[in-house]
Amino acid sequence: MSNTISKMRSDIDGFLEYLVVERGASQNTVISYKCDLLQLLHFLNPGIQRKLDVAGWKNVSNKDITAFSKHMVVKEYAGSTRSRKLASIKSYMAYLHNEGYIDSDPSKNIPPPRKIRSLPKAISVLEVKNLIESTISSSNAVNNLRDFAMLHVAYAAGLRVSELIALKVQDVDLISGAVRCLGKGGKERIVPIHPVAINSIKNYLANSRPKLIKSRKEKTLFLSHQGNNLTRQGFWYILKDRANSIGIASKVSPHTLRHSFATHLIHGGAPLRHVQELLGHASITTTQIYTHLTDSFVRESYESAHPRAH
Catalytic residues: 160, 184, 255, 258, 281, 290
CA distance 162 to 186: 12
**Helix intervals (H) in the chain:** 3-21, 27-51, 62-74, 79-98, 125-133, 141-157, 161-166, 195-207, 209-212, 232-245, 256-267, 272-279, 284-287, 289-305
- Which residues is 181 bridged to in the sheet? 189
- The answer to whether 167 touches 221, Cβ cutoff 8 Å, is yes
- The answer to whether 155 touches 179, Cβ cutoff 8 Å, is no
CA distance 89 to 113: 13
DSSP letters, 111-142, are: PPPPP-PPPPP---HHHHHHHHHGGGG-S-HH
Contacts of 39 (CB under 8 A, 6+ apart): 85
Quick one: DSSP state of residue 200? H
CA distance 32 to 190: 47
